[in-house]
Amino acid sequence: MTSTVLTGTADVLTVTGLRKGFDGRIAVDDVGFHIAPGETYGLLGPNGAGKTTTLRILCGLLAPEAGSAVIGGFPMNRFAREAKALVGYVPQEVALYPDLTARENLRFFGRLYRLRGATLARRIDEVLELVGLADRAGEKVETFSGGMRRRLNIGAGLLHRPTLLVLDEPTVGVDPQSRHAIMESVHSFGAAGLAVLYTTHYMEEAERLCDRVGIIDHGRLVAEGTRRELVARLGERDRITLTVDGDVAALAAACRELSEVDSVDVAGGELHLIVRDGRRLLPTVFDVAERLRSGIRSAEVTEPDLEAVFLHLTGTALRE
């Protein structure tokens, strides 16, 4: 794959001080980050944290109240044709025509990008090969699986060789095989020099694909860095995950009183603790559970990882 890669060391995307509100509620508050050529940047946050609003601003679909986004040296706004031409936007909702074939869909979107003739035909063939659908090019999209549709959706965003590819939760609802294929494709995009902005509700995807991660919560970017840099923020903290049969709320409240516990999160029947020296603390937690008659069916202690950082900073699990 070849894309419109910027030369030199200039960032593909520079975001500064974005702010946007709706009906008196601030959705995005002073958000800023940058993405270099060939870099995959993960934007993570709970539902309602401001991710979608940020993406819509960066793609020119919303105007910010303050701040700016510059793509390839061009400022982005609703009328910025030069900046928009550098962006390939793949929304979470599949934007394809089910009664058209894969090739016909790509031909339609290619014409919207002002591609014509032999150039368009050649690019369609390249994209179909890239997303692994060359052998299904003549079949209608309505016969495709969810994973195949999402792969074709990504292909539509690549037709015009963008400089920045924006992927909004591209693996939601797909089978494991298609999810693996999508992740392999995203990995190849960065290797080819394409800058990628990636949002996901699957922490393992961020761990595997993203060079750097920004964590957004309540409209603000609360942390940013490589996986190693973010995990280092927790120091020697461990994560304890408990599956509880009894009163999980009572056990959570009791664990918050333990001096070794930094944060507590409840997700269904699970209790997530960020602690110092988890293996040493675990017997104490069991003693507390026994006293409260909160039965523990399983317990797991893990070393700090990106999900632990997310829980610590936002107080909630990524997938709710």
* Arithmetic mean of pLDDT, 112-117: 94
3-state secondary structure of 223: strand
296-319 per-position pLDDT tens digit: 999 999 877 888 888 888 877 655
> What percent of the chain is predicted at pLDDT more than 70?
96
From the list 221, 238, 226, the residue with the least C-alpha distance to 313 is: 221
Average of pLDDT values for 70-96? 93
pLDDT confidence of residue 318: 59
pLDDT band at 36 (very low <50, low <70, confident <90, very high): very high
Same fold, 13-230 and 236-303: no
Q: Residue 104, class by beta-carbon neighbours within 10 Å (0-12 exposed, 13-18 middle, 19+ buried)?
A: middle
Report, as an integer, the average pLDDT of 22-50: 95
What is d(CA 160, CA 106) in angstroms, rounded to the nearest whole number? 11
Looking at the predicted structure, is the pLDDT value of residue 134 above 80? yes
Per-residue model confidence (pLDDT) at position 161: 95
Instruction: Count the Cβ atoms, other than its own, within 10 Å of residue 143.
Output: 11
The superfamily in CATH containing domain 13-230 is P-loop containing nucleotide triphosphate hydrolases (3.40.50.300)
Could you say which DSSP state residue 290 is in? H
Distance CA 35, CA 293 (A): 50
Mean pLDDT of 98-124: 96
Comparing CA positions, the residue from 126, 134, 133 lying closest to residue 147 is 133
The pLDDT value recorded for residue 317 is: 62
Q: Is the pLDDT score of 139 beyond 50? A: yes
Per the prediction, the chain carries an average pLDDT of 91
Mean pLDDT of 163-189: 91
234 Cβ neighbours under 8 A, 6+ residues apart: 274, 304, 308, 309, 312
- Could you tell me the residue ranges of all domains in the chain? 13-230, 236-303
Residue 258 contacts residue 310 (beta carbons within 8 Å): no
pLDDT of residue 306: 87
Is the pLDDT confidence value at 34 over 50? yes
What residues have CB less than 8 Å from 293, skipping those under 6 apart?
246, 247
pLDDT in tens, 115-127: 999 999 999 999 9
Q: Is the pLDDT of residue 6 over 90?
A: no
The residue behind tokens 């997303």 is 131
Would you call 298 exposed, middle or buried from its count of C-beta atoms within 10 A (0-12, 13-18, 19+)?
Answer: exposed
Spatial contact of 154 and 182, defined as CB atoms under 8 Å apart: yes
What class does CATH assign to 236-303? Answer: alpha beta
